[in-house]
Amino acid sequence: MVAADVIDQQNPLNVLDTDLPLLSHRRLLGARLYLHCLVRLAVGITIAVGALFARYVVNVESLSAGELVAVGIGILLYDALAFVQIRHRLSPDPSLDDYVTLKRVMYGAILLDYLALTAAIWLVGGARSPFLAFYLLHVILSCVLLSPRAALGLTGVAYLLMVSLTLLEWTGLAPPRLPAGAVPSTVDLNWQYALTLLVVYGLLLGLIALLMITLASALRRSETHLYDANSRLERLSQMRRDFLHIALHNLKSPIGAATMLLGNIRDGLGGPTTDQQQQWLDRSLNRLDGLTSFIRDLQVLATLDSGLIGPQAKPIDIKNLLASLVDEYQDLANQKSHRLTLEAESASASVLGIERLIKEALVNYITNAIKYTPDGGTITVRSAVVEAGKTVRVDVTDNGIGIDPTDQSRLFGEFVRLKPSAPSISAEGSGLGLSIVKRVIEAHGGTVGVKSTPGAGSTFFVQLPIAEAADPAPE
């Protein structure tokens, strides 16, 4: 049975609350009960203090101040018991036993609220009490907090208490207290007024209950559908991630083997080759290198999608990482006669994250600078601690072809490949590189950006919170 099946589409009142998944209205039950405990605390104190104020300051002499104070104390007592029951059950993901206990506390507190309200109404005017309207408030709260069946039941309880209170007063079995100044009339209750009162409040309670239950049921039904849809999407997403991991694993081995064998043939290990065959082999190996790079990009995306950054995060020394990258890519820079240098502050800064991912992001910056800078250029990798020691910033600056301002806002989008202004520079690639940089850095709580002038070079930067100033990377 899917989550949405527990709600009758033809009858929105037929909701089996115990069959629903842990949706938000159930997860938040403990928090809402805690809030209601605070409200009930304020109500109890207000009743007690208000009764004393009316009796001894406003001089409402016929007011039963002692009894109202007792009602307020009674509210405080059962509110304290409710608080004891819920204070250890405020988890946003309660167990089934905790949820059942919270529901019992809620039912008990609502029933006691009704009884306390009825006692207060009887002490201040009975059927003519200005506090009768608080029955409506309790009905609304019941409809929001409880299942439709329970809300209807408690609405019936409220009306039954009101009917009993009115009948007892009309028959003279339990005449209410009628403090002058607190109620509009102190004469005996006649049957016409009693009947009008019961009919009007009966209609009001019924209409409010139906409207609120219908609204609450519609919201819960929509939430249930969303829960079910999200569950299906999560299953599909997990299947996609699993398939991607398997596909990437199965592609790496044959591509690696083909690259090695073609390299052996190009190097003459299988016998001499013609110039034409050498060109074909070079083109094939270049294509395989591009495919290998694309697979590496997909592996980074798969790692980001898996949500494992938090559990795998470790301190990373940025200065040492940059030094190793500059040393590693010196040969590639030398092939184009570039001068690749590192300018790092003497003080070392560490960030919290997955070194492999941050390394991939910085490698993308460095290789792009080498690729898009004409031969004989200068590429500088800098790191500095900024923002009062809270952030480390890494810049990769080149004096290459630069980027048009209209294109800079598109750079970090997926599958974006800009056409270089210099015809000698190739724009081959998947278009995923900079978008992956952005996702990696943002997953580590950082930011990315670029400053560039056409014909004068570019500066690509990342900023990451240093380990001492950072919260753990998001999971």
Evaluate if residue 285 carries a pLDDT over 90.
no
Q: How many whole angstroms separate alpha carbon 108 and alpha carbon 142? A: 12
Longest dimension (CA), the chain: 121
Asked if 156 and 198 sit in the same domain, the reply is yes
Nearest to 429 by CA among 318, 275, 287: 287
Asked if 318 and 416 sit in the same domain, the reply is yes
pLDDT score at 168: 86
* pLDDT per residue as tens digits for the range 341-367: 999 876 678 888 888 888 888 998 999
* pLDDT per residue as tens digits for the range 186-245: 666 666 677 777 787 788 778 888 878 887 777 777 777 887 888 888 788 777 777 777
Asked if 282 and 324 sit in the same domain, the reply is no
CATH number at residue 346: 3.30.565.10
Q: Would you say residue 348 lies in a domain?
A: yes
Asked if 281 and 152 sit in the same domain, the reply is no
* pLDDT per residue as tens digits for the range 51-76: 888 888 877 777 888 898 999 999 99
Evaluate if residue 180 carries a pLDDT over 60.
yes
pLDDT score at 187: 63
Please indicate, yes or no, whether the overall pTM of this predicted structure exceeds 0.85. no
Q: Label residue 80 by pLDDT band (50, 70, 90).
A: very high
* pLDDT per residue as tens digits for the range 238-274: 777 777 777 777 777 888 888 888 888 888 888 888 8
Q: Would you say residue 241 lies in a domain?
A: no
Q: What is the mean pLDDT of residues 6-13?
A: 42
Asked if 131 and 198 sit in the same domain, the reply is yes
Asked if 270 and 330 sit in the same domain, the reply is no
pLDDT score at 365: 92
* pLDDT per residue as tens digits for the range 115-134: 998 888 888 888 778 788 88
Q: Label residue 182 by pLDDT band (50, 70, 90).
A: low
Asked if 165 and 273 sit in the same domain, the reply is no
> How many domains, the chain?
3
Asked if 281 and 329 sit in the same domain, the reply is no
* pLDDT per residue as tens digits for the range 373-421: 888 999 999 998 888 778 999 999 999 888 888 777 778 876 666 665 5
Asked if 459 and 336 sit in the same domain, the reply is yes
Structural domain containing residue 420: 309-469
